[in-house]
């Protein structure tokens, strides 16, 4: 696996912290944030260039087989996903409270033609989900409990959504129609 290695982690982290702190929580229909250009341009390019070509695992049994996943780059996990500055920036957004660093579940997702997931909320063990889009197409749908579409968080390279998980945070993904939809998933437990 290619590594993300740099001496600029503090610069990259501060860039993302500023993006998060300057974002606005959208409460319609439930707590979520959508941010464009979430990663420093250099880090975004490095993430795309270091995308792994092997070592992927299939999606969990009984879930759409057109998703494969693997652990994220160790340095990225330490310096972005797990880092206290990043967690504090997220947990100081309106409606959240920072009570100390959370355990992090990291992942790289590669979705291929036909990947889709129906209306759902995430597992109760997940407090915050944060998906960063790298390349591809097909965003994330925000729905009501019956699966009626309320809005789409559009796929745009280097954009992300952050979602507080609760019993009303229904979302889905329409079928992917591109060869590769790549994203970085961070979950705070």
| DSSP secondary structure of 68-107 | EEEPPPHHHIIIIIS-HHHHHHHHTSTT----SPPPEEEE
**Count of CB atoms situated within 10 Å of the CB of 108:** 22
Mean pLDDT of 16-24: 98
Task: Please state, in angstroms and as integers, the Cα–Cα distance from residue 157 to each residue in 37, 110, 138, following that order.
Answer: 8, 14, 11
Given this model, what pLDDT does residue 7 score? 86
**Is there a contact between 131 and 88 (Cβ–Cβ < 8 Å)?**
no
Domain ranges for the chain, please list them: 9-188
Q: Residue 63 corresponds to which tokens in the numbers above?
A: 């879930």
Given this model, what pLDDT does residue 1 score? 41
Instruction: Please tell me the pTM assigned to this model.
Output: 0.95
Beta sheet of 171-173, edge-to-edge order: 117-120, 171-173, 140-143, 149-153
Task: Please state, in angstroms and as integers, the Cα–Cα distance from residue 182 to each residue in 20, 54, 83, following that order.
Answer: 21, 14, 22
Given this model, what pLDDT does residue 73 score? 93
Mapped onto helix, strand or coil, the DSSP state of residue 170 is coil
**Is there a contact between 109 and 140 (Cβ–Cβ < 8 Å)?**
no
Mean pLDDT of 26-49: 97
Angle at 149 between CA 146 and CA 150, to 5 degrees: 110
Q: What is the CATH number of domain 9-188?
A: 2.60.120.620
**Which tens digits make up the pLDDT trace of 149-176?**
999 999 999 999 999 999 999 999 999 9
Q: Residue 59 corresponds to which tokens in the numbers above?
A: 């999606």
């Amino acid at each position: 696996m290619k590594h993300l290695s740099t001496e600029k982690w503090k610069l990259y982290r501060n860039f993302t912290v500023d993006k998060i702190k300057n974002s606005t929580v959208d409460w319609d229909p439930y707590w979520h944030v959508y941010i464009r250009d979430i990663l420093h341009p250099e880090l975004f390019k490095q993430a795309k260039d270091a995308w792994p070509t092997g070592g992927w695992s299939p999606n969990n049994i009984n879930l759409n087989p057109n998703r494969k996943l693997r652990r994220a780059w160790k340095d990225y996990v330490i310096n972005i996903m797990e880092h206290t500055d990043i967690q504090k920036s997220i947990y100081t957004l309106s409606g959240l409270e920072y009570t100390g660093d959370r355990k992090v579940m990291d992942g790289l997702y590669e979705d291929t033609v036909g990947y889709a997931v129906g209306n759902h909320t995430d597992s109760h063990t997940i407090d915050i989900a944060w998906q960063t889009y790298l390349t591809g197409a097909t965003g994330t749908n925000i729905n009501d409990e019956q699966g009626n579409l309320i809005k789409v968080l559009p796929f745009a390279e280097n954009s992300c959504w952050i979602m507080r998980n609760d019993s009303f945070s229904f979302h889905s993904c329409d079928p992917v129609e591109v060869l590769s939809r790549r994203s970085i998933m961070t979950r705070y437990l």
